[in-house]
Each structure stands twice: as C-alpha cells, then as structure tokens.
Structure 1
Amino acid sequence: MARTDAPHVLARRHPMAERAATLRDVAERSGVAVSTASRALTKPGRVSEATAQRVLDAARELGYSASAAGRALSSGRTWTVALVVPDIANPFFFGVIRGTQSRLREGGYAHVLVDTEESVEAEERTLRSFRRSVDGVILAASRLDDESLVAWSADVPMVTLNRAFPALTCPSVVIDTPGGAVQALEHLTSLGHRRIAYAGGPRTSWSDGRRRAALTSAADRLGVEVVVLGPYAPQREAGSAAADAVVQSGVTAVLAFNDLLAFGILERLESRGVRVPDEVSVVGCDDVFGADLVRPSLTTVRAPLEKAGHHAADLLLASLDPVHPRIGAPVELPTHLVVRESSGPARS
C-alpha cells in the first residue's frame, strides 16, 4: 500500500494560484521564517502547537506540497516505513494496517506493506532488502527466533507488534490474547465444560506459546482439563483437520487460535452433523469481520487491532525523531470476550 504521491502533500493547489506555492510563500503567509515553516511541516514537535497549526493552515490555503525527494536528499531519510505481516489475507491484520497507515500518513510517511506468507525465510529476506531503503519497520507477529529478532532490531529501526521479551530492546505493542483465552476458558467452565480443547496456531507463533502457558495455568486453577491440539495454520482451510481432532478427542468445547480457524471448525462440524453449541461449543479469537455473521455467530475474544496499529506507528515515529528520540515502554492492550451463539452449556 505504498503511496505514490509525496508524503507531505497537504492539499490541492489553490485554484487562484498562478504558480506552484513554495516554502517561502508558506512562511510569508504564516508570518514565520522559512526555517520555522520547514520544521513545522517536517518536524512539528520542534515548534509550538500554535505555530505548527498556522503553518499547516497556510500550506493548505496555498496548496503547498513539499518535495519528498528534496527532503530525502537533505535529511538522509526516505520518509517510508515498511509494515511486515505474515499473512495479508488474514483479517486480523486489516485493522492493524488501518491504524498504522493513518498514523504514518499524519506523520508524513509513505507506507509499504509486505506479506511474508508465514515464512521465516521470507521475513529475513524482507528485512535484508529494506534495511537501507526505509526509515523503519513495523514487524507484526514476527516468526523469527529470538536471537535473529534481536540482531535485526539492532540493525533496523523497528517496532514489534505481538512480540516482546527481555533481550529485545526495541519498542513493542502486545495484545493480551492470553488473558482473553483465559476469559474464554472461564466462560466455558461456567457453562459446565470440564474437558476443553485448544486448537493451537503455528509452532513459530510467540502469541500461541503465551496462550498455551496461560491456559495451562488457568486450567489448574479452575480444575478443568485442556487438551492441546495442533499446531494448525491460522487459516480457514486448517479448520477441517482441527474439527476432526476435536471430535476424536471427545471434548465438549474448543478454543481456536484465531477466528479463521474457528470458521473452518464450524463448517466441518456442520458437515459432520455435529451441532454447535448443543454438542460442541466453539470459541475463536480476534473478533474479525464476519465473526457475527457466521451461523451460529461466533463467541470470540475481541482484540483492539486498529488501536494496536496506531500505537505501533506512534512508537516508531517517536524513535525516529532525530532531535528527541523516545523509546516508549512496551504497550499492552487488553482484550475481552464477546459471547455469541457458538458457546452454550456442556452436554450432559
């Protein structure tokens, strides 16, 4: 989703203008020095809010657009950020992309979206090819091992989304899906379920490992059994195998790694004549588009996806500030369970 226009296009040219407005025109219109106008448009944090607004208003009135090429030559920056995701077809990332893109646009950055197709090798190739051509990277749900991720974070300005550990010093945003999974387990326990499956995600998923640990601990506390199935690809097509394993295991409920997997489980259970939730309850994770449209509608853990993207972009822009770089503390965003039709009392 890279933009082809200059990152700092602020408005269309004023219809009365006879020539393209210059930075000097903007400075004169707003009553400031040219250097101040430049800072207001490229580094607004270095001038007062009132001055920045006055310059922005003048730029809009005149239809001024800064030259991205000129800024890159003078600053050594490309004004481009890469957002790297493991699967662009997964609706989980739609909200993340929206939140990231809107914040980067506000900061004057173009946005490059890269799909690594759940491949560790593709993720490394992406980082290697972009290390000198972008100003920073937002790495969502990285599949790299810890050592590789630490090495890359030292070489490329980076923010990770859904990946954090003590040795990783770059800023991070974490969605509390383990806490959401525990909420789901408590919900199912309250409905009388005592043997519950967890249909897990990819082996390389950091989030999946955290959920397994959280569910194991919660199961001990609640006095229930969690049967771990998988790993499964976080895709609808993997739901058939997961559903077959659920039926074979004899559990009365299943928590799926994500909603796509849960959608596939619902489809397969229906084709096998297994009634949901009368015979098996199904719970997903993420509350992506369509979770309330499938039948039965899906009980799932809602994640603040757009907010996560916004926070990730904020952290990256703060770390790229050449004057006052700020490495923000890890941001952890809460989740909550949305109860719909796919979960019900355990069969007797």
Structure 2
Amino acid sequence: MAATIRDVAQASGVHVSTVSRTFSAPHLVSPATRNRVLAAAESLGYRPNRAARALTTGRTHNIGLIVADISNPFFPPLIKAAQAHARLRDYHVFVADTDEDPLVEEELIQTLAKQVDGVLLCSPRLNNRTIERLAADVPFVVVNRRVRGMSSVLMDVGHGARLAIAHLAALGHRKIALVAGPKASWTGGEMRKAATATAAETGVELVTIGPNAPTEQGGLAAVRDVLAAGVTGVLAYNDLVAIGLIEGLEEHGVAVPGQVSVIGVDDVVPGRFNRPRLTTVAMPTSAAGRAAVDLLLSSVSADEPATPALMTLETSLVIRDSTAPPP
C-alpha cells in the first residue's frame, strides 16, 4: 500500500499537521524538522496528494512559463533550467508559446491565471500597461523586460552590445549596422541605446536597419539594406538573425568575415556550429530561468505582498570566427 501522511508523521516523530506544513508552507517549519520529515517521506516513497493540498492551501503548485517562440533555440535552456529548479521546490511548470503574437500572449495569460500560482513571462511582446493590468489576476515575474511594480530578471544585453561595438571598432571598422529586431522588444531597445552610445564614444558611424523578424528569415530579408548601407561590420538582434544574414551575404558573394564581420546575440548552439563560427554576446539563459523561479516562488509563498525585486545577470562577448579586421 502507498505510504500515507500519517506514516510519514509516525516515522519522523512529528504531528500530521507538521508533515502537511512541510509540503505546503515549508518556511513555517524549522530546517531540522523539515529535513527529518523529507527524509522520512523519501524513504517511505510518500508523495503528497496535490489536489487535496490545493484545496487546503489554495495553491495549485503549478506555475506558467510563457515564451515568445519555443522554436528559437534561445528559449529551451531557460525552459529546462526553470522546470528542473521548480521541480526541486515541488512545483510543476506549464510551458506556452505565443509565436511572437501579443494577442495570443494575452489570451494565454488569462487562461493560465486560473490554473497556476504565478506566471513567468519571458521576452513579452505585450506593452507594459497591458501586463500591469493582467497582473491583477496572477503574480508575474518578467524576464528581459522592466515593468513597474513587478519583479524582473534582466540579462544585461546593453553591456553585451557595448562589448560588441567596441570589439568591431578595435578591429578597425568605422561603419557598422545594427540589424534590429521586433518593435516591441525591450532587448532591442536596450541594444540600440547601448550601441548608439558606444559608437559615439569610439568614433564609429552606426546605421540601424529594421525592425526585422527575430528569425533567420529576418536576417535574410535585411541583407539588401546591409549591402546598400556600405557597412563592414554588423551587430544582429540575435544569433538567428546573424545566421540568416551570413547566409544571405554569402549568396550575394560577400565573404564573412573577409568583407563583412557579423556578431550575434544569445550564444545558441547553432551559432557554434555555423560556418564561420559565430562571434556572439552570450546570454545567461539557464541562470535566468532559475532566478525567475526563485523570485516567483518567493512572491507566491509570502504572507504579504512582496517588494518587487530586480535581478540583472551579466553578459559576455564570445569571439569566434565571424569577425575580423575590415578589408
């Protein structure tokens, strides 16, 4: 027969209510007692009844994770890290994909709000006002967007953009294109501000091309504008745009990095196997997934509304084969 909560209480020498609190409100149980209860539960193979616990605590022990495009290789490491980290806290994660559509994003939030204790919103395409309105229905933590009154995990893409422009300037490039992403992207706005400032500091002319779709097709579509601009270096919105751009340039007989250097953002796996191997700004996606789960569960378990927290994670430049001095 399956172990019961009473079996765990007897094995650990505590009251049944203490076992219940260990799983439903662990912050109310001393670390020593909690460890004793968890050890007994593990040895007996006990698993709490999630449905019954939800009725008792009012919590589902589920969280939602909404991403802009699950086919973009930027997101799977974040999803995987968030799921594993949530599982350690006895939470399940429901993953949903908006396909870069803000209307779909709003619909998914409204649907998940009835089934989860909180939502992780990653690279949202909704405007801040709509996100603030939806937050009345369910707690949020936002990844890669700053929203008033809401906890956020940011990856410092501005710092990465500064490193990228400075790298191209140090190689001798004097005219650089920023191939931008979607209009509603917080990341794109931060990149633009940082790239513009660094270009001015280093005496480089910066040309902005876009908005563009954050995909390989978006990079391919920007090729003609990049060639018409007469630049020798490019900072792309993300690695997918950079890969599409390299493919399009080579189709036009333009060598990378011999004639045009290209830098991406994200450090996704395809960029490491691309030819040439892609110079890129590495984004700490796995760390962001874990940090977002921690912030959300801290908010969910708090007895009173928690003060919004802001966490910024460091980025770095990974130099590979797609950048070189200009011809």
Aligned residues: 327
Letter in 1 for 2:248: R
Q: Compute the TM-score of the two structures, normalised by the length of structure 1.
A: 0.91
Indicate conservation of the 8 Å contact 1:315/1:327, yes or no: no
322 and 179 in structure 1: CA distance in 2 versus 1, 3 angstrom threshold: closer
Deviation at 1:327, TM superposition (A): 3.5
Q: Over residues 267-304 of structure 1, what are the superposed CA-to-partner deviations in whole Å (9 max), with x where a residue is unaligned? A: 11122211111100000001011221111100000011
1:56 alignment partner in structure 2:
38
**Distance in 2 (alpha carbons) for counterparts of 1:190 and 1:170:** 39
Structure 1 segment 64-213 matched on structure 2, within 5 A: 64-165=46-147, 168-213=148-193
Q: Secondary structure at the match of 1:292?
A: helix
Q: Which runs of 5+ in 1 are unaligned?
A: 1-18
Q: Secondary structure at the match of 1:290?
A: helix
**Distance in 1 (alpha carbons) for counterparts of 2:216 and 2:20:** 49
* Pairwise CA RMSD: 1.3
Q: Secondary structure at the match of 1:144?
A: coil
Q: For structure 1, which segment, 93-102 or 297-306, has the greater mean C-alpha deviation from structure 2 after superposition? A: 93-102
Deviation at 1:324, TM superposition (A): 6.1
Deviation at 1:325, TM superposition (A): 5.6
Identity between Structure 1 and Structure 2 (%): 46
**Distance in 2 (alpha carbons) for counterparts of 1:77 and 1:46:** 16
Task: State whether structure 2 residue 26 is matched by structure 1 residue 44.
Answer: yes
1:309 alignment partner in structure 2:
289
Deviation at 1:154, TM superposition (A): 3.0
Letter in 2 for 1:334: E
Letter in 2 for 1:293: F
Task: State whether structure 2 residue 27 is matched by structure 1 residue 27.
Answer: no
Q: Which runs of 5+ in 2 are unaligned?
A: none
**Distance in 1 (alpha carbons) for counterparts of 2:34 and 2:303:** 17
328 and 169 in structure 1: CA distance in 2 versus 1, 3 angstrom threshold: closer
Q: Secondary structure at the match of 1:197?
A: strand
Q: For structure 1, which segment, 91-100 or 280-289, has the greater mean C-alpha deviation from structure 2 after superposition? A: 91-100
**Distance in 2 (alpha carbons) for counterparts of 1:68 and 1:327:** 29
Q: Over residues 16-47 of structure 1, what are the superposed CA-to-partner deviations in whole Å (9 max), with x where a residue is unaligned? A: xxx11001101111111111111222322221
Q: Compute the TM-score of the two structures, normalised by the length of structure 2.
A: 0.97
Q: Secondary structure at the match of 2:269?
A: coil
